[in-house]
Structure 1
């Protein structure tokens, strides 16, 4: 008998993406990851458009400008999404 048969049908979770997003914590993290992604895109575009500290000149004068752009974008993505997700988790109500 498989171990999954020991769980009553009322307690079984759905499989796939729908099952993952039925968990409220996963929904919270996914929503805040999307918020972090949107903030990353805005900050990345803002840095390039305003030419902050000559960043745009440095990037577009390199031989392959997509490499520093990718490094900057993914560095910002990891940092800002982590901050958004961490802030969401830290602001959850505390159970006593």
Structure 2
């Protein structure tokens, strides 16, 4: 997708959540991304997942401490990447804590 006026943004983050990326955090990512118009994806190594798909996010099997790349393309790409990155860096622990 290469459309004039469309921004591209990416950021590498470390998953900071001892339980890894499981169903509840994946659902929260989908919820957050649904607020943006940009297409957002998350990459772990050579695996890539659309951030609007819980199943694709779960298939990444991301564990605590792993590095992931969040990238977005669209008119609000920068805001979308920032929102998702914030979840990975500290939001999951704040939202879900240790009681799962």
Question: Bigger radius of gyration, 1 or 2?
Answer: 1
User: TM-score if structure 1 supplies the norm length?
Assistant: 0.31
Task: Identify the structure with the greater strand proportion.
Answer: 2
> 1 or 2 for the larger relative contact order (CA 8 Å, sep ≥6)?
2
TM-score, scaled relative to structure 2:
0.30
